[in-house]
Amino acid sequence: MPRPKLPRSKKGASFTKKLSFLAAYAATASIGLAAEKAHVKRQNHYEWLRAEQGREAKDREYTNAWETIQDEVAQTLEDEAVRRAHQGVKRPVLYKGEPVKINRRVLYHLEYSDQLLALLLKRFRPALYREHVTTEHSGSIEIVERLHAARKRLFEMRKADDRSATG
């Protein structure tokens, strides 16, 4: 996985924790695992992002590094999805839960992911492969009139409650 690109000139525990978290996220693609590996609370990441939202663009180093790593991790995951859909995954052939061996060598078969292939086709060729859903509405909805009628009924109910409570 990619390494985070933060300037090395900064010092301090906070910077080190941020850099450690980003490196762990790049390796795991999981906020929870990254926080665990970096020995920080997962909430720290969200606080670091919020703290940088109000700053000027030139001071948003953590946010910029986070966005860059997000893109790199997403590309890595997409590459793996393409590999699994196109080249397949080598899986051992099992019989009664044990790998089948021929001449002391485990027998494998390639397993392809049709689901990943379909998702990739939808992503790269949406005009051809996405679900085409159209919604048509005929008739009219008099929402404003319905709201006014409901409001009127509510006022009448409140008046009736007030009368019964005072009388």
Residue 62 CA to residue 54 CA, distance in Å, equals: 13
Please count the CA atoms within 13 angstroms of the CA of 25 that sit on its side-chain side: 24
pLDDT in tens, 12-60: 668 889 999 999 999 999 999 999 999 999 999 999 988 877 776 666 8
Q: What is the pLDDT of residue 10?
A: 58
Longest dimension (CA), the chain: 97
pTM: 0.61
Would you say residue 4 has pLDDT above 70?
A: no
pLDDT at residue 147 is higher than 60: yes
Residue 88: its pLDDT value, please? 93
